[in-house]
Homo-oligomer: A and B are copies of this chain.
């Protein structure tokens, strides 16, 4: 991609994932924008990036930059993306897209009007076997969707001494496990099944209402040391959610950031009218395919055994395990191909701002349902 350059807002864990992916693809990263100018300079040096911008304005003025990656805390997505699209740059934004659906609706409208590529980072779609499952469902190999169950469980916030900016509603929004990881599951399974849930019945739980906030800075996935103060937490440690799909399909999702021993257990299990399928992020190279009248199958990721969706997302032959980093290469590979050709390809499978907005509408419905203890229809966004 010799003519397309990128810049990255945010220099934390996920910012470095974006950086490494772009490097692997050969996309030049012109610079980064840190949470403060000083932090930016420090991180640019550590990461080996040529430049630290002093401001978003400076970044957007850099002619070497055509695509801007937004990996800042959630609260910053809305103003930054508006400014980026206003400057006629392509944008790749971390999830969740915004703090509210009002914001994401506006961002979606701007993105549509701009004609620019506007992607949301639901990278989990790009495990090759998830792409393959999408192709299977599209081809009706599993028949109609009857039942889908799954979860996204982690343990990095299992103790009251664990801290992260996402814990506080002002930084991450009123939801936490649902918006941070639950929307990954909803996006992934909507992509695979070709259907978004239409109604939700949700229950939110904050098992650790008081946590120790460190007085110094904390990196995601690390444990704080030093002085702390007690903070009251209102965001959800976990959620239990029922889903309804059009045509009668039913679903269940649980999210948890307090499940000891689960580091990133995202699973889905689909019962279709003809066959079943299931996948787990802890064994992402295996797709289970279930049959009533024949032995079940385990498809080990292998381009020669997958459908075109799966094969396109696979970089390595079978027997050479792919992981989290490889999903980003497949994801950004599609995005930059589309940037290069000036529009989303018919075969593109990255999450658009439509998808990102739909997740915000899902979050709205979850909040409403949990508050009222009742089923709530999910507003229709795009798709």
Contacts and interface: CB of A to CB of B under 8 A. Distances in A.
A226 interface: no
Contact of A294 (B25, B220, B305): B305
A352 interface: no
Contacts of A258: 146-147, 271
Interface stretch (A64-72, A101-109, A281-289, A343-351): A281-289
Contacts of A297: 295-298
A285 B282 contact: yes
Interface stretch (A52-60, A210-218, A245-253): A245-253
A168 interface: no
Contacts of A24: 20-21, 23-24
Nearest to A153: B271
Nearest to A265: B319
A190 to B, nearest CB: 17
Interface in A236-256: 237-238, 240, 242-244, 248, 250-252, 254, 256
Nearest to A202: B242
B151 A296 contact: no
Nearest to A201: B201
B259 A276 contact: yes
Given A261-B291, A294-B305, A321 B323 contact: yes
Contacts of A25: 23
A15 to B, nearest CB: 14
A26 B48 contact: yes
A203 interface: yes
A354 interface: no
A374 B205 CA distance: 18
The interface centre, meaning the residue of A151, A292, A317, A318 with most chain B CB atoms within 10 A of its CB, is A292
A260 B283 contact: no
Contacts of A21: 24
Contacts of A169: none
Contacts of A75: none
Contacts of A341: none
A321 B290 CA distance: 18
A300 interface: yes
Contact of A260 (B153, B238, B265, B291): B291
Nearest to A219: B317
A205 B260 contact: no
Nearest to A262: B290
B373 A375 contact: yes
Contacts of A285: 282, 323
Contacts of A289: 261, 295
Interface stretch (A76-84, A90-98, A154-162, A356-364): A154-162
A256 B147 contact: yes
A2 interface: yes
A187 interface: no
A127 to B, nearest CB: 9
A272 B262 CA distance: 12
Contacts of A299: 295-296
B259 A147 contact: yes
Interface of A: 1-2, 13, 20-21, 23-26, 48, 146-147, 149, 151, 153-156, 158-159, 201, 203, 205, 207, 220-221, 223, 237-238, 240, 242-244, 248, 250-252, 254, 256, 258-265, 269, 271-276, 281-285, 287-300, 302, 304-305, 315-326, 373-375
6 contacts: A23-B24, A146-B238, A207-B273, A260-B272, A260-B292, A295-B298
Given A201-B201, A252-B252, A295-B300, 4 more contacts: A146-B258, A221-B317, A261-B288, A261-B289
